[in-house]
A and B are shown apart, each in its own frame.
Chain A
């Protein structure tokens, strides 16, 4: 081999090979490596970030334009007014027509579509660049799933952290109790990442376009959104019963956990060729 083989790249490769031979790599390490690789690639090209960013920015802009008058509308539940209806009683009973749970629902519809516009690339990109074979050779299916799920979850969390305060500024959505609100947002992100990851894998293997991604992902998302709206209606209750919080938010979280569990069990069949 001589001194020509003595380059930095070869040293690194042989060093890695020795490390592999020395101790078996756990799937957690593999998943971490894949996550690091995806993060580095994303920071280099910024494909998903820019797609999600442009989509979210235009959606927020449209939303603030479309809801400019809606925010002003006040409504009164006439049946609940005390009998001699006075002007003061009417004024006191007025509340915004676009209430807090509905605002939460709109936010999550926005986040869902933002996530789906950005995450559909996570497996398609590997197929397009031909790196899918290398990935299949170098690590187990479980590690690939875990790595991709972690990347998608991080991306969705980042988008949620940026978008939610802006959305609150635009629409005036209240927070409710901060721990409960954060728990609902986190559970939502888990469910969204779980749905997006397995659908992305299926759509990439089916050589599908964005249309297929939307078509097979939407039923998973609709049920998820219904559970989320149910949880959102519990967030903004003034003094909620703990049972209700556990039931509604637990239901939302369980949906995401179930999706991730079944996806992890079946991902191997999608991944093999």
Chain B
């Protein structure tokens, strides 16, 4: 190994450093698992409407079927942030613009999942509590989470001319804002000052979850996570192509 102890200089343009065919991203490869995601998603959608009789999520009746989509998407909106934070650490440690691109892609997908969680949650609230918006702690959290993602994109937009400065500043912002993000998901909904309507223990109480219910919900987590990986790979591929064109 011809590695040296000194840190290599940050590549000015990653497109030059790469061969003509971009190195494949580690992880899931090929087309087979995308078909599998498609089939799994079909199963989840079918199952969400076909699970009958046993479904009674905290007494919410049929409207509770949205749990199959809302909960995985809401959890992913935080997972996206955690992924972005991991790549932000990579950006700072290795001075790698590719890690910065991945961090930004995770944040962009976070916006998508955040919006989806907000919409599905709002639909459920409209059916259950007769108002699409109640300023419930979870609703406040998700809105501030959206604000957090938006601020990140604003910061990136402000330094778009200097890619390396942008990589450093946005990575630092992701890590600093990890604290409010974590507080928003884990602390704010449990503050005694705010009274929550949101069912906190839908998935914990055994009488809420029958076997057929779990048989749909757990694949749903897997399906949405794999969808995230797929979208992530697609966006990264687009970024690589744009880099190569420039």
Are the CB atoms of A218 and B158 closer together than 8 Å?
Answer: no
Chain A positions within 8 Å of B194 at CB level = 226, 230
The winner among A207, A223, A258, A262 for most chain B CB atoms within 10 A is A223
Known: A206-B159, A230-B193. A219 touches B180 (CB 8 A): yes
Whole-angstrom CA separation of A83 from B92 in the bound complex: 66
Are the CB atoms of A262 and B169 closer together than 8 Å?
Answer: no
Of A222, A229, A267, the residue contacting B144 (CB under 8 A) is A222
**A residues contacting the other copy or chain, number (CB 8 A):** 35
Q: Is the interface of A mostly helix, strand, loop or mixed?
A: helix
Are the CB atoms of A202 and B155 closer together than 8 Å?
Answer: yes
A203-228 CB contact bits vs B (8 Å, 1 = yes)?
Answer: 00111100010011011101110110
**B residues contacting the other copy or chain, number (CB 8 A):** 31
Known: A198-B176, A216-B173, A262-B178. A269 touches B168 (CB 8 A): yes
Cβ-based interface call for B151 (8 A): yes
Chain B positions within 8 Å of A226 at CB level = 140, 188, 191, 193-194
Cβ-based interface call for B187 (8 A): yes
Of A212, A229, A258, the residue contacting B155 (CB under 8 A) is A212
Cβ-based interface call for A255 (8 A): yes
Cβ-based interface call for B242 (8 A): no
Cβ-based interface call for B179 (8 A): yes
Of A216, A255, A263, A266, the residue contacting B151 (CB under 8 A) is A216
Min CB–CB distance B62 → chain A (angstroms) = 33
Chain A positions within 8 Å of B140 at CB level = 226
Are the CB atoms of B188 and A223 closer together than 8 Å?
Answer: yes
Whole-angstrom CA separation of A218 from B148 in the bound complex: 8
Are the CB atoms of B168 and A220 closer together than 8 Å?
Answer: no
Chain A positions within 8 Å of B191 at CB level = 226-227, 230
Min CB–CB distance A242 → chain B (angstroms) = 15
Q: Which residue of A lies closest to B183 (CB)?
A: A223
Chain A positions within 8 Å of B184 at CB level = 223
Cβ-based interface call for A158 (8 A): no
Chain A positions within 8 Å of B176 at CB level = 198, 220, 259, 262-263, 266
Chain A positions within 8 Å of B192 at CB level = 230, 233, 244, 248
Are the CB atoms of A220 and B172 closer together than 8 Å?
Answer: no
Whole-angstrom CA separation of A78 from B92 in the bound complex: 58
Cβ-based interface call for B227 (8 A): no
- B-contacting residues, A119-165, CB 8 Å: none
Cβ-based interface call for A270 (8 A): yes
The winner among A244, A259, A266 for most chain B CB atoms within 10 A is A266
Cβ-based interface call for A251 (8 A): yes
Cβ-based interface call for B177 (8 A): yes
Q: Which residue of A lies closest to B149 (CB)?
A: A219
B77-121 CB contact bits vs A (8 Å, 1 = yes)?
Answer: 000000000000000100000000000000000000000000000
Would you mind naming 9 contact pairs between A and B with Cβ atoms under 8 Å apart? A202-B169, A205-B159, A215-B155, A226-B140, A226-B188, A248-B192, A255-B183, A267-B172, A269-B168
Q: Kindly list 16 other residue pairs between chains A and B, CB separation below 8 angstroms, not including A219-B144, A223-B180.
A: A206-B165, A207-B158, A207-B159, A208-B158, A215-B154, A220-B179, A220-B180, A223-B184, A223-B188, A226-B194, A230-B192, A251-B187, A259-B179, A262-B175, A262-B176, A272-B168
